[in-house]
Structure 1
Amino acid sequence: MPATQPAMPFFIILNAASGHKEAGDTRSIISRVMREAGREHHLRLVENPQDLAEIARTTVAQANQVGGAVVVAGGDGTINTVANAVLPSACPLGILPSGTFNYFGRTHRIPEDTQEAVRMLLNASPQPVQVGLVNDHIFLVNASLGLYPKLLEDREAWKQQYGRSRMVAMWAALASVIGARRQLHLHLTRGGEVASWRTPTLFVANNKLQMEQIGMAEADALDKGFLVAIAPRPVGTGALLWLALRGALGTLGQAGDVRSFALREMEVRQSKRHSRSIKVAVDGEILRLHEPLRFKVSPQPLYLLKDTVSTGGAA
C-alpha cells in the first residue's frame, strides 16, 4: 500500500464539460477549503473531454514525483478515465463526486456535497479498492453489452434535451426498454465451462451498492474478490419492463427470468459475429472493444482516499 503524508499535495482534475458555471462554483469551493486548510494543491480544469485521458496521465506523473495524490472531480465516467491512468502507478486517488448517480462515491461513503468531500480528503488515507477489467479497461461500477449500452446512448440524448437528473435518466431507460428488439447470442467461458446464452443484455457488476439497490443476492460477493454477471432470459417487451420495475423495487434477484453468478474471470464471444468489435458500456461511457471480451478482477487494487472513521475501515 502506498505511504501517505499528512500534508501530501493534491493534484486535482476538474471536468468542466458539464457546464462552466457549475465547474466554476466547484473550483471556488475546492480552492477555498484547500487554502483554509493550508494544503498544497494544483488544480487543472479540463475544457475538452477528449483531453481528459492525456491530462490524467501527466497529472499522475506530476503527483508521483513529489509523493502526492491525484484527485478527480466528476461523474463515474470521468472518475473511470482518471482511474485508468492512476491504477498502474499505485498513486493514491481521491474523488469529488458530481455525476447523476455517483455509485462509486456513494459506495465508499464519499459525500456528494463538494465542500464536505474536500474536507474529508484532508484527513483521508489510501485504502485498497477492487477494480474490474474488461480487455484491460477498468470498470469501477459496471461493464455491459447489448441493451444497456443502447440505454446509455438514449439517456445521453435525453439529457441533452431535458437536462441532467435521475428522473430524466429513468424515463430514458423506460423508452429504451420499450424499443428493445435485438437479442445477443453469447458464448460464456468460465472455469473451463462454456454456456450459450440468448439475452437482451449482459451486465457485469463491480459495485455493491448498485447490486443491493436492485436486489441481487450476490452483492456480498463483491466484498470477497468477485464480480457479478447478470443476464435476463429472452423475454418480450412486457416482461422486460416488469424486470426493470423489479430492479427499481429492489427485487430483481428474485425474478425467475434473470440469470446471475459470481466470477473472477470470464470470456465472452458472440456466436453470430457481424464485426470483430462490439459496443461495451464501461462506467457509463461507450467503448468499442474487440472480441473476445475478457472480464476479470484486476490483480492490482486502486488506492482510494477514504475517511476510515466514517467508513468503518477499508472496503
Structure 2
Amino acid sequence: MTKKTYYVLFNANAGTAIATGVSAESIKDLFASHELHATVDARTDVTFTSRLADAMASDASVIVAAGGDGTITAVASALVGSEKSLAILPLGTVNALAKDLHVPLNLPAAIAALATGVEHRIDVGEVNGQIFLHKVVIGLIPGLAAGREHIRGKQTFSAKIGFVRYFFRRLSRAKRLAIAIEPLEGERRLERVQAIAVASNSYDEGLGQFFSRGSLDRGVLTLYVLRHLNAGDFFRLSTNMLLGRWRSDEALSMESINGVVITTKKGLVKVMLDGEVQALQSPLNFSIRPRALSVIVPTEVATQPNVEAA
C-alpha cells in the first residue's frame, strides 16, 4: 500500500488555534511523532488562494485543512473531482464537518487518527457553481451571523451580553422574506419565510443532537423552511432540538430533494454558506454531487453501517 503524504494548510487565525496556541512547529512535531511525512504551510505573506494552488500542485496525496469550517470548505472546493483526499484538523469554533465525521476535536488525537485513517467518499452540495459541505441559509440567520462576527475573539461578559441583546432585537424586528421555490421534481411555489436552508443530506433528530448528520453519502439535499421565528419560537425550537423532537415543530417544514431553484426579489442575496456570510446572485440554483469528495476518516467510522471506504 502506498504511504500517504500530507500537505497541511494551517490557518493560524482559526478560533481554537488562537485559544490554544497551536503553531506550525507543534503541528510538524505531532506528525513526526507518528512517522507521518507532512509539509506544513503556515505562510501569511501570500494569499490563501496561492497557498491552495501550491498544495494542489504538490505530490501530497492528502491535503489537510487545519482551521475552521470556512478553511475546510475552501480546501474541499479545490479537491472535488481530484485524486487527492481531504483531511481535517479541527481548529475552528464550530467544527461541524469534523463532528459529523467523528474526527477527534483534540489536535494530538486528530493527527493520531490520520495515521490509521481510511478514505471515504461523501456528497457535496453546490449553489451557483459554488461548493458547500453543510448548508446554505437565506433570511434572518445570515444577519444574526454577521452580528456574531463583531464579537469573534472577544470573551468578555459585556460582549456576550451585547450579542444576546442584538440577537433578540433583530429577532423582534425581522421581516419575512418573499421567495419562490422550484424543486427539481415538483411545482414552483411562493412562500413568505423567516429563513430557508438547503443542506447536504439531512440533520438527525435525537436527544442532545444539534445539527449533526449521521450519513453524508445519501445523495440528497434537504430543504428546511422556517416560516416564522419570534422569541417564543426560538426557545421552543431550541428545547425541542435538545429533546430530539424538533422535526415536528409547527414553524418548520422539511423535504428531501435532488435540486432546487430559489428566487428572491433582490438580485443580490445575503446567505450563510458553511458558516461564512457572503452575497450570491439570485436565482440560487442548488444541486447535489454524490460522493464527489474523498475524505480521511478514523478507522472506526469506516466500519460503521452505511459507511463504505473509497
Candidates 290, 299, 303, aligned match of 1:308: 299
Contact 2:122 2:216 in 1 (8 A): no
Equivalent position of 1:230 in the other structure? 224
Contact 2:206 2:245 in 1 (8 A): no
Aligned residue identity for 2:276: E
Contact 1:123 1:307 in 2 (8 A): yes
Report the alpha carbon displacement of residue 11 of structure 1 after superposing the two structures with TM.
0.3
Equivalent position of 1:295 in the other structure? 286
Q: Does 1:181 align with 2:177?
A: no
How many corresponding residue pairs?
Answer: 302
How far apart, in 2, do the equivalents of 1:168 and 1:37 lie?
44
Contact 2:6 2:62 in 1 (8 A): yes
List per-residue Cα deviations over 1:134-182 (Å, max 9, x = no partner).
112111111111111112111111324437xxx8899489436634412
How far apart, in 2, do the equivalents of 1:168 and 1:207 lie?
35
Question: Which ranges in structure 1 are unaligned for 5 or more consecutive residues?
Answer: none
- Are the structure 2 counterparts of residues 28 and 258 from structure 1 closer, same or farther at C-alpha, using a change threshold of 3 Å? same
Q: Does 1:14 align with 2:10?
A: yes
Contact 1:151 1:172 in 2 (8 A): no
List per-residue Cα deviations over 1:226-269 (Å, max 9, x = no partner).
12111122455533553344345433211112111111100000
Question: Which ranges in structure 2 are unaligned for 5 or more consecutive residues?
Answer: none
Aligned residue identity for 1:38: E
Q: Does 1:40 align with 2:31?
A: no
Q: Which is helix-richer, 1 or 2?
A: 1
What is the correspondence of 1:199-218 to structure 2 with a 5 Å cutoff? 199-206=193-200, 208=202
How far apart, in 1, do the equivalents of 2:197 and 2:165 lie?
18
Equivalent position of 2:48 in the other structure? 52
Report the alpha carbon displacement of residue 67 of structure 1 after superposing the two structures with TM.
5.1
List per-residue Cα deviations over 1:51-107 (Å, max 9, x = no partner).
223322321121xxx252100111111111111111132311110112222110011
Does the residue aligned with 1:224 lie in a helix, a strand or coil?
A: coil
How far apart, in 1, do the equivalents of 2:142 and 2:301 lie?
34
- Are the structure 2 counterparts of residues 251 and 236 from structure 1 closer, same or farther at C-alpha, using a change threshold of 3 Å? same
How far apart, in 1, do the equivalents of 2:38 and 2:129 lie?
31
* Structure 1 segments (4+ residues) deviating >4 Å: 19-24, 167-174, 207-216, 218-223
How far apart, in 2, do the equivalents of 1:14 and 1:89 lie?
21
Contact 2:147 2:163 in 1 (8 A): no
Equivalent position of 1:25 in the other structure? 22
How far apart, in 2, do the equivalents of 1:46 and 1:212 lie?
42
- Are the structure 2 counterparts of residues 195 and 23 from structure 1 closer, same or farther at C-alpha, using a change threshold of 3 Å? same
Identity of aligned residues (%): 23
How far apart, in 1, do the equivalents of 2:132 and 2:205 lie?
15
TM-score, normalization: structure 1?
A: 0.83
How far apart, in 2, do the equivalents of 1:23 and 1:311 lie?
30
How far apart, in 2, do the equivalents of 1:150 and 1:14 lie?
28
Contact 2:138 2:272 in 1 (8 A): yes
List per-residue Cα deviations over 1:251-296 (Å, max 9, x = no partner).
32111121111111000001xx23x211111111112111110111
Contact 1:74 1:99 in 2 (8 A): yes
List per-residue Cα deviations over 1:188-235 (Å, max 9, x = no partner).
11114111111011111226556657879x967855211211112245
Contact 2:136 2:274 in 1 (8 A): yes
Candidates 141, 154, 178, aligned match of 2:147: 154
How far apart, in 2, do the equivalents of 1:39 and 1:135 lie?
38
Equivalent position of 2:272 in the other structure? 281
Q: Does 1:116 align with 2:109?
A: yes
Aligned residue identity for 2:86: L
Equivalent position of 2:135 in the other structure? 142
Aligned residue identity for 1:31: K
CA RMSD of the aligned region, Å? 3.3
Does the residue aligned with 1:204 lie in a helix, a strand or coil?
A: strand
Aligned residue identity for 2:150: A
TM-score, normalization: structure 2?
A: 0.84
Candidates 240, 253, 258, aligned match of 2:252: 258
How far apart, in 1, do the equivalents of 2:166 and 2:93 lie?
14
